[in-house]
């Protein structure tokens, strides 16, 4: 019987040198695998099974999305599972964990008293930088471009600009919006109809008018109403069941609005990606994105050129009537001081103008949708609000007319402010504030290394319910010093209760005499400290005018249960999946 001969290549494979090579490769692969596994920051709680896999918390993230939950629920869920005010989650291999702070008092301390320990950070800058690389929202404050870019907007949040430019535009656009909803309410005759896109057009009209000074004929709302009156032939209300939705035709947005929505959607989508930078690099190649870029550049440059021509034509008599006028004038003035030619087609100017438009439109739209939902869901609070407005504007009520802009700007209506604040608290547009440590810092007794991303939750524990227990000695010295500055938690935070923001004036015990107290308890909708939302003054003015005129003119009726739900979706901005209204003329009530 012939001996079995082992092939030369097999024999070679089992030689000591080959075995050593295979062993070395396997050892290297294992070493890389171990290095790629999540590396928890010592002492900070986390979900243990997530630290044992390369994908970290991504499977949990995917499960939440599949269940229809918003992405930031991962952070709230992690805080709940760990039962801790500080926790960490893991995403990409080789990446540092993301630290979650779900304690209002500690977040307030870090973003105010210890703000120099934090910066916007790489994740934030990559998220916005893929669409607006030359806007200060994509820059750390230490970036030499930050101050120069921010200077372009210095005039836009002054009381003069807000009261003389923004307020009249908001009021004008709201009057047109009231006309639109009067038409729809009369046509629907007590049936519910979709409000989501109407409010989208309203928030767009308002910010576009304040930014670019558009004529009323260019208003999306005006064109929508004109289209309905001329082309819409509705079914008879008697043909639509009382509990059913009354349908109105969709209205196509303008090219500029479409481009803003497309680009804003890209920013929001990138926020939920492990690598925003990689996402933008690929997404910006899509035809829809290229069209959005082209439309944005073309249309905004037309407005810039028109503003420049008017400034050159009017010279010393030039009077700014829109935000863009101030930006153009400031760029020309800065160029003159610096001995250079003004760059009125720069990416910087376009990005600053774009973010002014998107930030003013998208976040306000989010708040408006939840406002009208709560008006319909809270009949007692709505009635109290309407009576507060009638009491604040007795002449307008007696004459059965609209409150004038001057009356609204001069009045203080505490319950109006409280109602708006409660909607902002319960339905914050952004569920977390993301920053990055610039040095090693200690938070609640745990050392967080330099360069670590930290997200401060603006909902969940402290805001919508009790906070997690914290030993006082684990808090920073500055946090302990300001322990009594405000409440640490809203124990009943899941309830809609505007009264939580009202208190008696100090030294005034008169019954019923209450004032609005924005520091009554946990609230971080506009962030805190030096990085607090730049446009919050405009946002509050806009919401006061919008709510005043809506509640003055309409009674918001409850939505039939089969049509109503509170499901939400979340990209960068938190919005409801469904937004319907049922309206009745409040002036005839």
Contact criterion met (CB below 8 Å) for 45 and 86: yes
Residue 546 has pLDDT above 50, yes or no: yes
pLDDT in tens, 58-78: 999 888 888 878 778 899 999
Q: How much is the pTM?
A: 0.91
pLDDT band of 12, cuts 50, 70, 90: low
Average pLDDT, the chain: 91
Helices (H), 112-155: 122-129, 144-151
Question: Residues 6 or more apart from 521 whose CB is under 8 A from it?
Answer: 486, 487, 489, 490, 500
Q: Average pLDDT for residues 145-160, to the nearest whole number?
A: 89
Residue 339 has pLDDT above 90, yes or no: yes
CA angle 440, 146, 346 (to 5 degrees): 145
Out of 3.30.43.20, 3.40.190.10, 3.40.50.720, 3.40.309.10, select the CATH number for domain 48-131+431-503. Answer: 3.30.43.20
Furthest CA-CA distance within the chain:
119
pLDDT score for 43: 95
Q: 159-430+525-588: what fold? A: Cytochrome p450 (1.10.630)
Q: Is 579 left (phi over 0), alpha (psi -120 to 50) or beta?
A: beta
Highest mean pLDDT out of 10-14, 50-54, 158-162, 196-200:
196-200
The partner residues of 453 in beta bridges, in order of sequence, read 436
Taking the C-alpha atoms of residue 127 and residue 541, their distance in angstroms, rounded to an integer, is: 28
Token pair for 329? 């004038």
Long-range (24+ apart) CB contacts under 8 A made by 5-8 are none
Taking the C-alpha atoms of residue 232 and residue 78, their distance in angstroms, rounded to an integer, is: 50
pLDDT in tens, 169-191: 999 999 999 999 999 999 999 99
pLDDT score for 11: 54
Taking the C-alpha atoms of residue 477 and residue 420, their distance in angstroms, rounded to an integer, is: 34
pLDDT score for 68: 77
3-state secondary structure 223-276: HHHHHHHHHCCCCCHHHCCCCCECCCCCCCCCHHHHHHHHHHHHHHHHHCCCCH
Same topology between domain 48-131+431-503 and domain 159-430+525-588? no
Domain ranges for the chain, please list them. 48-131+431-503, 159-430+525-588
pLDDT score for 218: 87
Taking the C-alpha atoms of residue 458 and residue 424, their distance in angstroms, rounded to an integer, is: 10
pLDDT band of 508, cuts 50, 70, 90: low
Taking the C-alpha atoms of residue 564 and residue 167, their distance in angstroms, rounded to an integer, is: 33
pLDDT score for 8: 53
pLDDT in tens, 419-457: 999 999 999 998 889 999 999 999 999 999 999 999 999
pLDDT score for 257: 92
| Range in 108-112, 171-175, 548-552, 571-575 with the lowest mean pLDDT | 571-575
Taking the C-alpha atoms of residue 79 and residue 89, their distance in angstroms, rounded to an integer, is: 10
In the 8-state DSSP scheme, what is residue 154?
T
Q: What percent of the chain has pLDDT over 90?
A: 71
Closest Cα to residue 82, out of 101, 63, 58, 69? Answer: 101
Taking the C-alpha atoms of residue 440 and residue 449, their distance in angstroms, rounded to an integer, is: 4
């Amino acid at each position: 019987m012939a001996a079995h001969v082992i092939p030369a290549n097999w024999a070679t494979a089992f030689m000591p040198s080959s075995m050593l090579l295979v062993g070395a490769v396997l050892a290297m692969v294992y070493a890389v695998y171990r290095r790629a596994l999540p590396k928890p920051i010592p002492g900070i709680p986390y979900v243990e099974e997530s630290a044992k896999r390369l994908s970290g918390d991504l499977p949990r993230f995917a499960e939440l999305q599949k269940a229809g939950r918003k992405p930031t629920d991962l952070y709230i869920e992690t805080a709940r599972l760990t039962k801790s005010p500080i926790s960490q989650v893991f995403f990409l291999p080789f990446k540092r964990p993301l630290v979650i702070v779900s304690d209002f008092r500690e977040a307030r301390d870090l973003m105010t008293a210890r703000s120099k320990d934090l910066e916007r950070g790489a994740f934030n800058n990559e998220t916005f930088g893929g669409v607006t690389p030359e806007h200060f929202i994509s820059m750390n404050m230490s970036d030499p471009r930050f101050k120069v870019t921010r200077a372009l907007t210095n005039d836009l949040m002054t009381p003069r600009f807000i009261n003389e430019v923004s307020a009249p535009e908001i009021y004008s656009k709201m009057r047109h919006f009231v006309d639109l909803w009067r038409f729809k309410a009369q046509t629907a005759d007590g049936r519910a109809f979709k409000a989501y896109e109407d409010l989208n057009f309203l928030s767009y009209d308002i910010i576009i008018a304040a930014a670019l000074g558009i004529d009323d004929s260019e208003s999306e709302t005006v064109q929508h109403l004109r289209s309905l009156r001329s082309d819409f032939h509705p079914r008879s209300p008697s043909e639509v069941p009382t509990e059913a939705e009354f349908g109105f035709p969709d209205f196509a947005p303008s090219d500029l609005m479409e481009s803003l929505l497309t680009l804003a959607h890209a920013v929001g989508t990138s926020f939920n990606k492990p690598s925003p930078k990689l996402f933008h690099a690929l997404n910006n190649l899509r035809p829809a994105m290229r069209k959005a870029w082209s439309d944005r550049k073309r249309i905004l440059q037309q407005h810039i050129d028109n503003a420049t021509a008017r400034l050159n034509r009017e010279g010393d008599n030039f009077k700014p009537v829109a935000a863009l006028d101030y930006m153009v004038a400031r760029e020309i003035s800065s160029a003159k001081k610096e001995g250079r030619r003004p760059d009125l087609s720069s990416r910087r100017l376009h990005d600053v103008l774009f973010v002014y438009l998107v930030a003013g439109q998208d976040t306000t739209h989010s708040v408006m949708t939840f406002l009208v939902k709560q008006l319909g869901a809270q009949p007692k609070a709505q009635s109290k609000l309407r009576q507060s407005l009638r009491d604040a504007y007795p002449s307008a009520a007696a004459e059965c007319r609209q409150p004038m802009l001057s009356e609204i700007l001069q009045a203080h209506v505490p319950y109006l402010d409280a109602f708006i604040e409660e909607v902002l608290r319960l339905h914050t547009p952004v569920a977390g504030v993301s920053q990055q440590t610039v040095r090693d810092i200690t938070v609640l007794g745990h050392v967080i290394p330099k360069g670590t991303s930290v997200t401060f939750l603006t909902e969940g524990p402290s805001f919508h319910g009790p906070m997690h227990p914290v030993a006082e000695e684990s808090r920073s010295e500055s946090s302990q010093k300001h322990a009594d500055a405000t409440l640490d938690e809203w124990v009943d935070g899941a309830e809609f209760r505007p009264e939580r923001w009202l208190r008696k004036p100090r030294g005034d015990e008169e019954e019923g005499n209450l004032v609005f107290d924005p520091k009554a308890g946990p609230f971080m909708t506009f962030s805190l400290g030096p990085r607090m939302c730049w446009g919050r003054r405009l946002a509050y003015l806009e919401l006061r005018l919008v709510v005043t005129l809506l509640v003055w003119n309409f009674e918001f009726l409850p939505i039939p249960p089969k049509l109503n739900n509170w499901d939400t979706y979340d990209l960068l901005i938190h919005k409801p999946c469904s937004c319907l209204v049922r309206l009745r003329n409040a002036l005839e009530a």
